[in-house]
Amino acid sequence: MAYLIALAIWAAGWFINAKLANGPQSDTRGISLLIPIIFGITIVAMWEVLVTMLGVSPIILPPPSMIAARFATSIPMLWADFEQTILKGALTGYIVGMIAAFAVALLADRSDFLTKGILPVGAFMAALPIVGTAPIFVKWLGSDWESKAAVVAVMVFFPILVNTVAGLKDTSAMQRDLMRTYGAGYWPTLFKLRLPAALPFIFNGLKIATTLALIGAIVAEFFGSPTVGMGFRISTSVGQLALDMVWAEIVVAALAGSAFYGAMAFFEKRVTFWHPSQR
Amino acid sequence: MNIKGIIPALTVVGFILLIWTVAVVPMNAHLTADQAQRDGLVMTPEAPRDRQDFAGLTLALKNPAIIPLAYNLERPRLPSPHQVAAELYTTVFTKAPTSRRSLVYHAWVTLSATLLGFVIGTTLGVMLAVGIVYNRTMDKSVMPWAITSQTIPILALAPMIIVMLGAIGIQGLLPKSIISAYLSFFPVVVGMVKGLRSPDGMQLDLLRTYSASANQGFWKLRLPASMPYLFTSLKIGISAALVGAIVGELPTGARAGFGARMLVGDQYGQPIVTWAALFGAAITAALLVAILSFIEKRTLRRMGMGAV
CATH code: domain of residue A239: 1.10.3720.10
Q: What distance in Å separates the CA atoms of residue B27 and residue A140, rounded to the nearest whole number?
A: 9
| Confidence (pLDDT) at B268 | 83
Find the helix or strand (DSSP H, E) in which B32 lies.
Answer: helix B3-38
| Closest residue, chain A, to B14 (C-alpha) | A117
The predicted model scores a pTM of 0.83
Q: Is residue A264 part of a domain?
A: yes
Domain match, A3 and A116 both: no
A22 in any annotated domain: yes
Mean pLDDT, to the nearest integer, of B92-109? 84
Single-letter code of the amino acid located at B263 = L
Residues of A with CB below 8 A from B1's CB? 120
Q: Pick from A54, A81, A99: which residue ends a domain?
A: A54
Q: Which residue in B164, B266, B278 is closest to A61 by CB distance? A: B164
Chain B positions touching A215 (Cβ under 8 A) are 153-156
Q: Does the residue A249 lie in any domain? A: yes
Split at pLDDT 50, 70, 90, the class of B252 is: low
Length in residues, chain B? 308
Contacts of A243 in chain B (CB under 8 A): 160, 163-164
Residues A214 and A170 in one domain: yes
Q: Which pLDDT value is given to residue B18?
A: 92
pLDDT of residue B251: 64
Which of the listed ranges A91-100, A258-267, B34-43, B84-93 does the model predict with the highest average pLDDT? A91-100
B33 touches B63 (CB < 8 A) = yes
Q: A100: pLDDT confidence band, cut at 50, 70 and 90?
A: very high
A9 and A111 in a single domain? The answer is no
Q: What is the pLDDT of residue B256?
A: 83
pLDDT for A277 equals 66
**Predicted confidence (pLDDT) per residue in A54-75, tens digit:** 888 887 788 899 999 999 998 9
CA A122 to chain B, closest CA, distance in angstroms equals 10
Verify whether the Cβ–Cβ distance A22 to B148 is below 8 Å: no
Q: Do A136 and B271 touch (CB under 8 A)?
A: yes
Per the model's pLDDT, the better-predicted residue between B96 and B17 turns out to be: B17
What is the structure's pLDDT at B269? 80
Quick one: A269 and A135 in the same domain? yes
Element (H, E) at B130: helix B103-134
Tell me how far apart the alpha carbons of residues B103 and B256 are, in angstroms, rounded to a whole number: 10
pLDDT at B253: 59
Reported as a single tens digit per residue, the pLDDT across B258-279 is 888 888 888 888 888 888 888 8
What contacts 24+ positions apart, CB below 8 Å, involve A111-117? A113/B8, A113/B11, A114/B8, A114/B12, A115/A165, A115/A169, A115/B8, A116/B4, A116/B5, A116/B8, A116/B9, A117/B7, A117/B8, A117/B9, A117/B10, A117/B11, A117/B12
- Chain B, nearest residue to A138 by Cα: B266
Q: For residue A161, which of A98, A116, A219 has the smallest C-alpha distance?
A: A98
Query: Cα distance from B96 to chain A (closest Cα, Å)?
Result: 25
By Cβ distance, the residue of B5, B239, B262 closest to A120 is B5
CA distance B99 to chain A (A): 23
For the residues of B190-217, what is the DSSP string, one character each? HHHHHHHT-S-HHHHHHHHHTT--HHHI
Query: A246 and chain B: CB distance < 8 Å anywhere?
Result: yes
The answer to the question of residue A59 being in a domain is no
Query: Are residues A140 and A18 both part of a single domain?
Result: no
Candidates B181, B54, B65, B187; CA nearest to A211 is: B187
> Minimal Cα distance from A57: which residue of B?
B167
Q: Which residue range forms the structural domain that includes residue A72?
A: 64-278
Residue window 54-113, chain A: list those with CB within 8 Å of chain B.
Answer: 57, 59-61, 113
Distance, CA of B61 to chain centre: 38
Q: How far apart are CA B210 and CA A265, in angstroms?
A: 43
Q: Is A130 exposed, middle or buried (0-12, 13-18, 19+ CB in 10 A)?
A: buried
In chain A, pLDDT over 70 holds for what percent of residues?
Answer: 98
Q: Does A242 lie at the interface with B, CB-CB under 8 angstroms? A: no
Overall average pLDDT of the A205-216 stretch? 87
User: Is A21 within 8 Å of B137 when comparing Cβ atoms?
Assistant: yes
Residues 6+ apart with CB under 8 A from B184: B117, B118, B121, B122, B125, B234, B237, B238, B240, B241, B244
Q: What is the pLDDT of residues A140-167, one digit of tens each?
A: 888 888 899 999 999 899 889 988 888 8
pLDDT at B119 over 90: yes
Residue A243: closest CA among chain B residues belongs to which residue?
B160
Check if the beta carbon of residue A105 is closer than 8 Å to that of residue A168: yes
Q: Tell me the domains of chain B and their CATH numbers.
A: 3-78 (no CATH), 103-302 (1.10.3720.10)
* B166 near A CB under 8 A: no
pLDDT at B86 over 60: yes
Residue from A111, A131, A260 to probe the interface with B (highest B Cβ count within 10 Å) = A131
Helices marked H in chain A — which ranges? Answer: 2-22, 29-53, 64-73, 75-82, 91-109, 112-126, 134-141, 145-168, 173-181, 186-189, 195-220, 230-239, 243-271
Q: Please state, as a whole number, how many other Cβ atoms lie within 10 Å of the Cβ of residue B139.
A: 17
Do residues A118 and B12 make contact, with C-beta atoms less than 8 angstroms apart? yes
pLDDT at A254 over 90: no
State the sign of the Cα–Cα–Cα–Cα dihedral B162, B168, B173, B174: negative
The answer, for A176 touching chain B at a CB cutoff of 8 Å, is: no
pLDDT tier at B97, thresholds 50, 70, 90: confident
The three-state secondary structure class of B142 is helix
Q: Whole-angstrom Cα distance, residue B303 to residue B225?
A: 10
Task: Indicate whether A103 belongs to any domain.
Answer: yes
Q: Are residues A70 and A14 in the same domain?
A: no
User: Is the domain of A21 the same as that of A129?
Assistant: no
Cα–Cα distance, B125 to B181 (Å, whole number): 9
Domain-embedded: residue A155: yes
In a mutational test of the B interface, the residue from A119, A215, A258 whose CB has the highest number of chain B CBs within 10 Å is: A215
Alpha helices in B135-151 (DSSP H): 136-149
Confidence of residue B306 (pLDDT cuts 50, 70, 90): low
A120 to chain B: which residues are within 8 Å by CB? 1, 5, 9
Do A25 and A103 fall within a single domain? no
For the residues B180-190, what does the mean pLDDT come to? 87
Domain stops at, among A33, A54, A75? A54
Q: Are residues A74 and A206 in the same domain?
A: yes
Q: How far is Cα B248 from Cα B156, in angstroms, rounded to an integer?
A: 10
Chain B residues within an 8 Å CB radius of A39: 141-142, 145
Q: Is residue B288 scored above 80 in pLDDT? A: yes
User: How far is residue B283's CA from residue B249's CA, in Å, rounded to a whole number?
Assistant: 18
Task: Count the domains in chain A.
Answer: 2
Mean pLDDT of A125-152: 83
* Terminal C-alpha separation, chain B: 11
Q: Are B276 and B88 in contact (CB under 8 A)?
A: yes
The 8 Å CB, 24+ separation contacts for B78-81 are: B78/B20, B78/B23, B78/B24, B78/B27, B78/B28, B78/B271, B79/B24, B79/B271, B79/B272, B79/B275, B80/B20, B80/B21, B80/B24, B81/B17, B81/B20, B81/B21
Is residue B128 within 8 angstroms of chain A, CB to CB? no
Q: Tell which wins on pLDDT, B101 or A213.
A: A213
Q: What angle do CA A72, A73, A76 make, to 5 degrees?
A: 95
Name, in order, each residue with C-beta under 8 angstroms of B246's C-beta and a sequence gap of 6 or more: A129, A131, A132, B110, B257, B258, B259, B262, B281
Q: Are residues A216 and A269 in the same domain?
A: yes
A214–B16 CB contact, under 8 Å: no
Cα torsion for B279, A154, B247, B182, to the nearest 10°? -110
Stretch B33-54: mean pLDDT: 78
> Do A127 and A206 belong together in one domain?
yes
Show residues of chain A in contact with B5, CB under 8 Å.
116, 120
pLDDT mean across residues, chain B: 84
**Domain-ending residue, one of A36, A54, A72:** A54
Ranked by mean pLDDT, the top range of A85-94, B31-40, B73-82, B151-160 is A85-94
Contact B41, B65 (CB under 8 A): yes
Q: How far is A18 from chain B (nearest CA, A)?
A: 5
Span between the terminal Cα atoms of chain A, in Å: 50
Q: Which residues of chain B are within 8 Å of residue A128 when distances are taken between CB atoms? A: 239, 281-282, 285-286
ipTM above 0.85, yes or no: no
Assess whether A6 and A30 both reside in one domain: yes
**Residue B308, pLDDT score:** 45
Measure CB to CB from residue B141 to each of A39, A231, A253 and give the nearest one.
A39
